[in-house]
Amino acid sequence: MGKSIAEAQERSAAGGGGGGATSSINGGNGGAFYYAGGGQERLSLRPPSLMKVPCRKRQRSFAGSYSSLINSNGATSAFFNSLAITPSAAKCASARLKGPLLPPLSPEHEGRKTLVLDLDETLVHSSFKPITEFDFAIQVEMEVETSRMGLQTVFVLKRPGVEAFLRAMASLFEVIVFTAGLKQYADAVLDNIDIDNCIKHRLYRDSCKFHMGGLVKDLSTLGRDLRKVIIVDNSPHCYLLQPRNAVPIVSFIDNRDDRELLDLIPFLSVISELDNVTQALGQV
């Protein structure tokens, strides 16, 4: 079996640094960084500390109480100990446009809440190396050597139930995908999984903010009432600024029996009916 991006990141953290050009398709704290230099190619995803914090939120009975948020493994103290973000990438990500990131709510979504979905390890898992099972492969132009661009093949595994989940959410919410990844990578993936055009808007790395050593998704920049915004993300750092709007989800790598997205459908259906989602999610 080929090494996944996450496995390569673990190897990168253990092997130390080295010179070379850097590039990334899924950057920030959720980023997959590609290195070329020193005669060896390496990858770096999010640091092991983040990969080791699977968070799970379940609905037992909304009339009673929400289930507790389970952290099955402790995070290490070095939250971004192996994260490589180039100064130019950080500057680009921190350069926010004036005004809201999204246009006004369309008439078809009047009265609906906004559901913000992460991409990598939430909806899909991607790997630069061939893997035993994958659903599709894409080619992304990226820096493969210093000052030289080239096509890199990325193998993508869809999280089980992702299409059904998107269809169900599109009937309830204004659906947004907000990723720390590059546009060319994210669009290629989303064009393959969003076959029914359920996603209304796509936001990329240049819409993130650089904060506390990594990229965060500031929901206050969307131009939506925060009482009516929910984010589903496997990375706690991404929703650091608005934790009361978050529904954590366990990271997806290659578990074909994973039911996280399907299990979230009834939970989010209930949340969609609330006047203020932060009051409910903030109690968990």
Bridge partner residues of 85 (DSSP)? none
| CB < 8 Å & 24+ apart, contacts of 84-92 | 84/22, 84/33, 84/35, 84/44, 85/27, 85/28, 85/31, 85/33, 85/210, 85/214, 85/215, 86/22, 89/24, 89/27, 89/205, 90/210, 91/210, 92/205, 92/206
Point out the catalytic residue in the list 118, 194, 218, 233.
Answer: 118
Pairing of strands 40-44, 32-37: antiparallel
Rounded to 5 degrees, what are φ and ψ at 267? -65, -50
Pairing of strands 55-56, 70-71: antiparallel
Q: Please choose, from the candidates 106, 131, 128, the residue with its C-alpha nearest in 3D space to the C-alpha of residue 256.
A: 131
Kindly state the tokens that stand for 236.
């706690």
- Residue 120 is among the residues annotated as catalytic for this protein: yes
Point out the catalytic residue in the list 120, 194, 218, 233.
Answer: 120
Place of tokens 């994958």: 134
Q: Label residues 248-282 b or e (16+ Cβ within 10 Å = b).
A: bbbbbbeeeeeebbebbbebbbebbebeebbebbe
- Residue 275 is among the residues annotated as catalytic for this protein: no
What contacts 235, CB < 8 A, 6 or more positions away?
A: 29, 30, 46, 50, 118, 121
Distance CA(240)–CA(211), nearest Å, equals 9
Would you please indicate which residues are annotated as catalytic (active-site) residues?
118, 120
